[in-house]
Structure 1
């Protein structure tokens, strides 16, 4: 006997959305997952907002999630990837060649201060 499948993610959970609708975000409403990206506007849209966008900008070409590989990386993902695992309030901006680690300025002063300065490389992103 088949049963109805349910999502393993509860509503209002701490789920991280990879792409957020910029229009909903601009209106300070709930973070809504984006299902479309407009290359001309360089903005992400949810299912509701894409309809209004389509009416206002009929000649724009929106890309759906089926072609997500054509979307740019979202700011939220970039910020997550650039954040230090140890010091959550800091951005990664160094690489220790000796230990082969990415690190933030606090990591450098806490854990890498005895490493020769020549082993640290400042990275720019």
Structure 2
């Protein structure tokens, strides 16, 4: 498991970016990679938008990519981690103790339906 929430995808790839600039997104601009995170605003900013943010909110402290381990996990990463590998349209919400496996509702009905319910644990994410 990765120890950092930073994307390992090369900038030239077609993969979805983990962190996008919220200000650009609000203006319906193309997805722009975020270079900074503001803890007070709880928002991500690209290099261009952080300058205006700094002028408007001089007392806010933004965190650059050099300290990306201090950034929160992006919603896209959380959604990815909570999605079932087999049934992409379902979220993982249970754990089978017998099989030591995370499950979505379809996994339970397909693969774990004969397991005693005492082995299934519903998890809250």
Q: When the two structures are superposed, what TM-score results if normalisation uses the length of structure 1?
A: 0.87
SS of residue in 1 equivalent to 2:44: strand
Which residue in the other structure is 2:3 paired with?
A: none
Tell me, which stretches of 5 or more residues in structure 2 are unaligned? 1-8
Q: Once the 2 structures are TM-superposed, how far is the Cα of residue 97 of structure 1 from its aligned partner?
A: 0.5
Q: RCO greater where, 1 or 2, for CA within 8 Å and sep 6 or more? A: 2
Q: Say which SS state the counterpart of residue 121 (structure 1) adopts.
A: strand
- Residue equivalent to 1:89: 89
Q: Once superposed, which parts of structure 1, at least 4 consecutive aligned residues long, lie more than 6 Å away?
A: none
* 1:24 corresponds to 2:24: yes
Correspondence 1:124 to 2:124: yes
What is the aligned partner in structure 2 of residue 36 from structure 1? 36
Query: How far did residue 30 of structure 1 move?
Result: 1.1
Q: CA deviation at 1:19?
A: 1.0
Residue aligned with 2:25, SS = helix
**Can you list the C-alpha shifts for 1:52-73, whole angstroms capped at 9, x where unaligned?**
1111111111000111111111
Q: Any residues of structure 2 matched to 1:59-98 within 5 Å, and which?
A: 59-98=59-98
Whole-Å separation in 1 of the counterparts to 2:94 and 2:70: 30
Alignment-derived partner of residue 57 in structure 1: 57
Task: Kindly report the root-mean-square deviation, in angstroms, between the aligned alpha carbons of the 2 structures.
Answer: 1.6
Q: Deviations over 1:94-122 (max 9, x none)?
A: 00111111110111111111111111100
Q: Tell me which structure has the larger Cα radius of gyration.
A: 1
Residues 10 and 75 of structure 1, relative CA distance in 2, 3 Å threshold:
closer
CA separation in 2, counterparts of 1:14 and 1:86?
Answer: 23
Aligned to 1:4: none
